Amino acid sequence: MQGLGTIVPLILMFVLFYFLLIRPQQKRQKAVQNMQRELKKGDKIVTIGGLHGFIDSIDENKAVIKCGDGSRLTYDRNAIREVTEAGAGDGVSLSK
């Protein structure tokens, strides 16, 4: 009976650890993968490095991002942190 008394707190700690740390991280990772999979031309994005721009073209592994001065930079698809505005897919304008 004493062996069971020492195992129960360990099991409770593992369950608490799972629900507070592991599960939320898995949800965030799944959401990021889903966002990166659904990227399309014209989306306004922010990269991990903080670059703001529009997706000019995209393929399986890389995205060409159009920046404020009209320059185009090539980034890995995984370097895109978030989509701030979904694009129409066609004419992309940087002027406001």
Over the chain (96 residues), the average pLDDT of each successive run of 10 is 81 94 95 93 94 94 92 94 78 44
- CA distances from residue 46 to 9, 52, 65, 79 in whole angstroms, order as listed: 44, 5, 10, 9
The pLDDT of residue 94 is: 45
The pLDDT of residue 3 is: 73
The pLDDT of residue 86 is: 84
Work out the burial of residue 56: count CB atoms within 10 Å of its CB; fewer than 13 is exposed, 13-18 middle, 19 or more buried: middle
The pLDDT of residue 6 is: 84
The pLDDT of residue 42 is: 92
> 40-88: which CATH number, 2.30.30, 1.10.3470, 1.20.120, 1.10.1740?
2.30.30
